[in-house]
Amino acid sequence: MSLQIGSIAPDFETTTTEGPIRFHEWLGNSWGVFFSHPKDFTPVCTTELGSLARLKPEFDKRNAKLLGLSVDPIETHTLWAKDIEATQGHAPNYPMVGDTTLAISKLYGMLPATLEGSSEGRTAADNQTVRNVFIVGPDKKVKLIVVYPMTTGRNFHEVLRVIDSLQLTANHKVATPVNWEPGEDVIIAGSVSDEDAKKVYPEGWRAPRPYIRFVPQPVAKKVVRYKKDGIGTFDATVDKVFDYMSRGGHQHQAFKSHQLRGVAGNVVTIDAEIYNPDGSTSKTVITHALSAPKSIETRMAGGPFDGARFTHAYTPMGTRTKVDLSGEFPALPGMSEADELTMIDGFFTSAFAEDEVTIRNR
pLDDT digits 0-9 by tens, 89-144:
999 999 999 999 999 999 999 999 999 999 999 999 999 999 999 999 988 999 99
pLDDT of residue 338: 86
Highest mean pLDDT among 150-159, 250-259, 303-312: 150-159
Q: Is residue 1 included in any domain, yes or no?
A: no
Average pLDDT, the chain: 88
Q: How confident is the model at residue 362 (pLDDT cuts 50, 70, 90)?
A: very low
211 plus 237 within the same structural domain? no
Label the pairing between strands 212-215 and 186-188: antiparallel
pLDDT at position 301 over 80: yes
pLDDT digits (tens, 9 = 90+) for 75-87: 999 999 999 999 9
157, HSE (Cβ side, Cα atoms, 13 Å): 4
Instruction: Please tell me whether residue 246 adopts helix, strand or coil conformation.
Output: helix
229 plus 347 within the same structural domain? yes
191 plus 261 within the same structural domain? no
Q: How confident is the model at residue 23 (pLDDT cuts 50, 70, 90)?
A: very high
Q: How confident is the model at residue 156 (pLDDT cuts 50, 70, 90)?
A: very high
Q: Calculate the CA 40 to chain-centre distance.
A: 27
Q: DSSP code of 119?
A: S
Q: Is residue 261 included in any domain, yes or no?
A: yes
Number of structural domains found in the chain: 3
Looking at 9-13, 151-155, 275-279, which range is the least confident one? Answer: 275-279
207 plus 250 within the same structural domain? no
pLDDT of residue 54: 95
pLDDT digits (tens, 9 = 90+) for 27-40: 887 899 999 999 99
Q: What is the CATH number of the domain that holds 100?
A: 3.40.30.10
202 plus 227 within the same structural domain? no
| End-to-end CA separation in angstroms for the chain | 46
Q: How confident is the model at residue 361 (pLDDT cuts 50, 70, 90)?
A: very low
Q: Is residue 176 included in any domain, yes or no?
A: yes
Q: Is residue 255 included in any domain, yes or no?
A: yes
Told to judge if 45 belongs to the known catalytic residues of this protein, a careful annotator would answer yes
Q: Is residue 2 included in any domain, yes or no?
A: no
132 plus 186 within the same structural domain? no
Alpha helices in the chain (DSSP H): 23-27, 43-61, 74-88, 103-107, 156-171, 194-200, 238-247, 337-360
186 plus 263 within the same structural domain? no
Q: What is the CATH number of the domain that holds 202?
A: 3.30.1020.10
Q: Is residue 351 included in any domain, yes or no?
A: yes
List strands edge to edge, sheet with 320-330: 223-234, 320-330, 309-317, 295-301, 281-291, 267-275, 255-264
25 plus 144 within the same structural domain? yes
Last residue of a domain, one of 125, 153, 181: 153
Of residues 351 and 90, the one with the higher pLDDT is: 90
Domain with 281 in it: 223-360
201 plus 321 within the same structural domain? no
Of residues 54 and 264, the one with the higher pLDDT is: 54
Mean local confidence (pLDDT), 174-191: 96
pLDDT at position 1 over 50: no
Q: Is residue 279 included in any domain, yes or no?
A: yes
pLDDT at position 214 over 60: yes
List 45, 64, 160, 308, catalytic entry = 45
272 plus 144 within the same structural domain? no
pLDDT digits (tens, 9 = 90+) for 256-288: 888 888 888 888 888 988 877 667 788 888 988
Q: Is residue 5 included in any domain, yes or no?
A: no
pLDDT digits (tens, 9 = 90+) for 62-77: 889 999 999 999 999 9
135 plus 257 within the same structural domain? no
Q: What is the CATH number of the domain that holds 272?
A: 3.30.530.20
pTM: 0.66
77 plus 122 within the same structural domain? yes
